[in-house]
Structure 1
């Protein structure tokens, strides 16, 4: 019984085809949460695929209906040991985006694993079936090497609606807060900073989606007869957007920016390189907030993006001044932003610059920003474990550039959150030809086995040290 044996066993799980077999079964289940007809399939994934595996590891399992009408189900599972020193919560999601079957290139099928060299193609391989399969399997290998005893409790929440914005997740967490009570969160989703480099991130940027609309009149009017006499909504909206973000991508509204870029975040991002992969777009070095590195701009700061813009009939333009124009926009934001007042602040800024004719409204699902302190004891522990296993210096991202429902775990459940992703940026997540890399998957199995082993050996000491530091900090105020 040793750490090295647990890690070797995790590698053997990949080498003997067990990981492939699990992935083949899970990818074949069409868990498209956006499709109403898939609702029974979402339950099947939990009841027929995941629960038997977890029960075999000693978990008690409960499928929970979504408190939001029409929402997807959740699995809550728990494995307890007498005298356990701590409890870890882990998370994943079994739903996927639509397959878009006809858009995959020849020879590929979203519901079958197809292997081409290091790439394993299939819907959900990267997001998220491959990732929670890795975590469950690594935990099982560690349990086997420790004669079924971990010394800590494990809780699981697996949702089936993440790809529709996680409706009901926050409500389920609040309703079952005592049942989910833990000391640490370890989950896996999203990509590594690049394929070769083990990565940890501590939260995610928030996302605020909003619509801008100029509605001046019904219908269009001939541009030859009325040009120069009627306000053009497209021109008005384009200039209103330029009032919010300039021609180089810099946000022009101070109240839409974070209060600061903490030194601990700067330190964590000092050596982080963004992009550079063979399929990555070339970074525009003069775009965004000046004076910041690319890593600081995407992981440490706020951005305002225009995702869609429409006026008139773009597919078949006519010689008419349109009556309406609209744009769908998004703010990605970090901790320290006044996100509760984004819409009010945009409204006030537009009014102050004469754009009272531009309507502003929230649109779609909103995510809160979260970030664990990069100097936290759990962070140092996790990075050391990952480096010992992989022999590589892992990259620490204070938060993911995108958005995840991490606020449920950080804010509702009050947990320190560590995310260890098992995908990579060019995985075609959400797109046709989604895939994982075999090399990354095998290494990830071993990295997670090392983490779960070290949690048994070192977790109680890390928790005690963290609690002492927290108590000392509280006495200062």
Structure 2
């Protein structure tokens, strides 16, 4: 049997409709971990016990279900398939939890917990984030195993049900099970491809910090005719405070929020990457750091965003000056930014500009730290060569623009991390009408079958002497 035989088997899995059938079954589980109801936690456990556990055990994995040490999180599954002490060990990962289904907000004819096929799209909550992605990787492992009779390496897997609430409990589990999760490399999938027709590989992610800015000036709301010009307007104060954080094109003005990690090597890695075009909104060329390319702005720099902003009662405005205004804000940051210093730096900046009345309230939800692996790392090179052999081309990013629990793998388990995403930027993840593209899924199955075949057939990094 050959590498091509495994890739052909992965292609057959897609073209016979088996992938679509399996994905529809996974999507049918309402694993919306952001829902605090007990039923949501029970559904998360069912997802692991009824779908993942039997499939992994049929592949020869020894699995264990774990309760989350954090009551806000869902259960976890860890598994292991050992073929030999002298073989490389691969850790893979996925999350079966999703954001809220948002029933009633999807386009007519679409439902979040049912697969709907339209042309090249498969609609349903979790198709892109992340049920479809870890299904592809597990199926690719199955294809290699069925073709060769063995994988040629040891495999460990972590499936969590809390990623959409900040992977609460995952660091504690990793510390407690560090020996059982030891590996040579993490190879997993989440996030989007840079362009749908070319595979993407990234080796880290931006971090994120979310917080509210709140201005409270007086009790209640008071008539704007009687009190206009006498009462401070909290919305105006907040608007000017926000305007001192960036300039009119979104360039960051908080000194400590401007990173120093956009090195020549990172710039070279990002050079000529196509971040414009394709589905989704058009990139605004006049937004963000003026001296940077679009790729450098999103993958090599920090970005500040106002996620929501409110004062008074927008849906029923009255002639009154509100006593409060609030903006929910977020900083996405790259390696080189001190996470612990983000909000203290903002406090100093606001005070220096006369906005002592603006309060900063961090969100309780945990977020992930920034990570980045050098694109020249041997494992990145190994996986990159394999993907190019199968697909012919590859986009390599030092880190994802979004955030992932990658810091738990790098900082606690000490692993090099390779992510090969199986979605695309127009997939509407976290929104109504989430979907995956069938050509991307087919291509991803082939790519991952090739990667897993090569790990078992060639001499991977770190095993040169033993070979």
Q: Match for residue 132 of structure 2? A: 130
C-alpha RMSD of matched pairs (Å): 1.6
Following superposition, the deviation at residue 21 of structure 1 comes to 2.2
**Cα distance, 1:229–1:105 mapped onto 2, change above 3 Å:** closer
- 1:4 partner SS: helix
Following superposition, the deviation at residue 192 of structure 1 comes to 0.5
Please give the alpha-carbon distance, in whole angstroms, between the structure 1 residues aligned to 2:86 and 2:54: 24
Q: Match for residue 320 of structure 1? A: 320
Superposed counterparts of 1:366-381, under 5 Å = 366-381=367-382
Q: Match for residue 43 of structure 2? A: 41
Please give the alpha-carbon distance, in whole angstroms, between the structure 2 residues aligned to 1:196 and 1:351: 48
Does 2:165 match 1:159? no
Bigger shift: residues 13-22 or 412-421 = 13-22
Q: Match for residue 232 of structure 2? A: 231
Cα shift readout 1:148-182 (whole Å, capped 9, x = no counterpart): 2x232100000012122211111111111111011
Q: Match for residue 28 of structure 2? A: 28
Q: Is the 8 A contact 2:45 2:75 kept in 1?
A: yes
Superposed counterparts of 1:344-423, under 5 Å = 344-363=344-363, 364-391=365-392, 393-423=393-423
Q: Is the 8 A contact 2:73 2:165 kept in 1?
A: no
Q: Is the 8 A contact 2:88 2:463 kept in 1?
A: no
Q: Which runs of 5+ in 2 are unaligned?
A: none
Please give the alpha-carbon distance, in whole angstroms, between the structure 2 residues aligned to 1:26 and 1:49: 7
Please give the alpha-carbon distance, in whole angstroms, between the structure 2 residues aligned to 1:321 and 1:94: 46
Q: Is the 8 A contact 1:264 1:374 kept in 2?
A: no
Please give the alpha-carbon distance, in whole angstroms, between the structure 1 residues aligned to 2:22 and 2:107: 24
Q: Match for residue 119 of structure 2? A: 117
Deviating runs (4+, > 6 A) in structure 1? none
Q: Match for residue 83 of structure 1? A: 85
Please give the alpha-carbon distance, in whole angstroms, between the structure 2 residues aligned to 1:187 and 1:199: 12
- 1:85 partner SS: coil
Q: Match for residue 473 of structure 1? A: none
Following superposition, the deviation at residue 141 of structure 1 comes to 0.9
User: Aligned residue pairs: how many?
Assistant: 463
Match of 2:59 among 50, 57, 72: 57
Q: Which runs of 5+ in 1 are unaligned?
A: 468-477
Cα shift readout 1:189-244 (whole Å, capped 9, x = no counterpart): 11111210100111110001111111121112333233223322111111111111
Cα shift readout 1:342-388 (whole Å, capped 9, x = no counterpart): 11111111111111111112113322001111121111111111010
Following superposition, the deviation at residue 265 of structure 1 comes to 1.4
TM-score (norm: length of structure 2) = 0.96
Following superposition, the deviation at residue 143 of structure 1 comes to 1.4
Q: Is the 8 A contact 1:202 1:400 kept in 2?
A: yes
Q: Is the 8 A contact 1:204 1:406 kept in 2?
A: yes
**Cα distance, 1:280–1:221 mapped onto 2, change above 3 Å:** same
